A = this chain, B = another copy of it.
Amino acid sequence: MQIYDQIVEAIASGKLEEGTTLPSARRLAVDLGINFHTVNKAYNLLRERGFLIMNRKKMFVVQKSKDEKFIENLKNLEEKLINEAIAKGMSENEILSILKNVLKKTKKGDSL
């Protein structure tokens, strides 16, 4: 999941642009000093969730595709998080303020 998160973050921040071919699972594994299977699993999860796609050469390539399933899932997770925040006694404005800050911060990395 750490690899997964880092790759998602790299895509979001623009460090990995759409169409970029990732290093092979074996290669990245060696570079990171971890096992091939671990990288492979992360790559496959990213593919399942639509962040990567495999090209004709069987390499993984960055892809940006917003699908219905993802948005539905996003809403559910957000609902849980926001429920917790409200249950903690936070006001609507407080929550919105935090959300906007996170969004701005993440978006700022985007333009780098």
* Residues on A facing B (Cβ under 8 Å): 5, 8-9, 11-12, 18, 34-35, 38, 49-51, 56, 64-67, 70-71, 74-75, 77-90, 92, 95-96, 98-103, 105-107, 110
Contacts and interface: CB of A to CB of B under 8 A. Distances in A.
Contacts of A107: 86, 92
SS class, residues of chain A in contact with chain B: helix
Copies in the complex: 4
A95 B104 CA distance: 11
A92 B106 CA distance: 10
A77 B82 contact: no
B81 A74 contact: yes
Contacts of A12: 82-84, 86-87
